[in-house]
A and B are shown apart, each in its own frame.
Chain A
């Protein structure tokens, strides 16, 4: 099997699940004849028919709400947000309806919401956001954010097979990222929800990150490796639940922690990690926990503004140097 892109891996994972299980179907805007805004479902309409590849009206609340209704009935819907930014229009269905149904009356809601997220260059405030943190404080939801091609497919399969509502954040900047084209197994495989992956081992500092920032973090680690600094890079892969043990073990080893995410700083998921490390690994820290994230503004449009807004390899490298210099 030739190397595939992250995007192709998502598409293949979805296709295989639809072939494997008749209860899996897709619902979203422009996913039928157009194949989705990013072409994840290209060809699906021809192959699976309009009963399983359903073009929805421009109405995110009913896309998620109807997916929930079908899920209660035992179907396994995969709803697509055209952009993760639009999930706000379906917020209530997720956080109040789908997330609480099992707790309140025992109804399993095996629902996946795919969310193309992240900044890919001058798409402005409404096509660039990383809204995952809004959902990470909602008991009943699960949240995943794969960074690699292998994980993209394996986590999608796990999400579809999970009996809970899962938000699947797929970073648009990874869709065709040449560096992560890889050969993935032809055999059926899954990546468990809730397990982090150590992308680079180190002893001097830990970076905890996820999504596209994994690669900026790895590049920063590589730069400092030339100076004899060995940085451990942890890719969370899942945010809710997240792999607390992996973080704590790494921090106990390296004694320094930098958290990196593309979402904005205040109220971002990094705050939760920092709090847990402060509570459970304080005695192991040789420096204050440091967070690097997007600045606390909307995602600006114009190139210099967006560049200023986003974390990148240089900013991660600088933050890491600061952390080590403490």
Chain B
């Protein structure tokens, strides 16, 4: 199976409507680039705060996954539902969680999305149609199928998008959820972020087929293999899958290949990953690649792109200040919210 990349434009110019071959214009690319930069900048800051002892709990990053997060979530409509995982914080940002929200969440603040009840990116928000992840990988694939089932029963036209790593693709919920979605032709998209390592475990100890997306055939559903460092390819593949789902064509399994540029989390220096994989990964860094693409195509000038980067830095600075000045929860608030009224 070939890795799907967005077709190179013979004519990279935007058409008279200001849109390119994927129907994306400057506004779209600004959002995509800003989101990718924000994920990178936000998570670099999280790591720094961790080292400085200012963070509460563990620090995770999706460095290398930014194109997957931004490209896929940008393909959703407002009524669609996002069920994110831990390396796609950019998808949270695209759906409406702000950097302030997520920084308060990371710092265990009372005004974070989970009010200090859970940390890092373990939060959902129904206002933004985001379902909160749990640490048990794969557990939200059946949940996503259920969200899609509700859409099918009600005929509301919404599509649900979730993610899993290649490591998490080994768990039974991957099979149960995807098979159920296939049987009932549910409007659901599952993206496998294949970053080559499940914590320290290489892919050869996770699966024996050539590509995880090969399983799509076994489930009787659509599948595509995508370069997960190419934001245009991610957008295109997800949009195709979302459209298929919305038309009643059932779920799609997308395997997005990328490289985890850092360790599993801040405490892990990834000594077990061969150096050339990390080097190749940084040489193919999705954030830099997108920046270069936008320059080459002359969608943005150097100054404009530098301006976006400065804007992002300001957003993150503000988020840190805001979160550190925000109140921690009162101890007895631990009692609140176990049950819904």
Contact = CB atoms under 8 A, between A and B. Distances in A.
Interface residues of A, number: 42
Contacts of B131: 69, 72, 107
B153 A96 contact: no
Contact of B132 (A62, A65, A73, A101): A101
B150 interface: yes
Contact of A73 (B147, B175, B341): B147
Interface string A46-80: 00000110101101011011111111111101000
Contacts of B153: 25, 51-52, 70, 75
Given A59-B176, A92-B136, A107-B124, A97 B143 contact: yes
Contacts of B339: 102, 140, 142, 163-164
Nearest to A163: B340
Contact of A96 (B134, B152, B176, B177): B134
A104 B180 contact: no
A65 B149 contact: no
Contacts of A106: 114, 124, 126, 337
A317 interface: no
Interface string B141-159: 1111111111111100000
A320 to B, nearest CB: 36
A236 interface: no
A93 interface: yes
B117 interface: yes
Interface in B105-123: 113-114, 117-118, 122-123
Contacts of A96: 134, 136, 139
A139 interface: yes
B140 interface: yes
Contacts of A109: 340
Given A51-B153, A65-B142, A67-B146, A104 B123 contact: yes
Interface residues of B, number: 45
B208 interface: no
Contacts, number: 140
A114 to B, nearest CB: 17
B248 interface: no
Contacts of A72: 126, 131, 143, 146-147
A105 B114 contact: yes
Contacts of A51: 152-153
B179 interface: yes
A69 B151 CA distance: 10
A100 interface: yes
Given A69-B149, A72-B147, A93-B142, A103 B337 contact: yes
A207 interface: no
A97 B136 contact: yes
Contacts of B142: 61-62, 64-66, 68-69, 93
B96 interface: no
18 contacts: A52-B153, A61-B176, A62-B142, A62-B176, A65-B141, A65-B146, A66-B180, A69-B160, A71-B146, A75-B150, A75-B154, A97-B143, A101-B124, A104-B124, A139-B338, A142-B339, A163-B341, A164-B340
Interface of A: 25, 51-52, 54, 56-57, 59, 61-62, 64-75, 77, 92-93, 96-97, 100-110, 139-140, 142, 163-164
9 A-B pairs with least C-beta separation: A69-B146, A65-B142, A66-B146, A73-B150, A62-B176, A108-B340, A163-B340, A62-B142, A69-B147
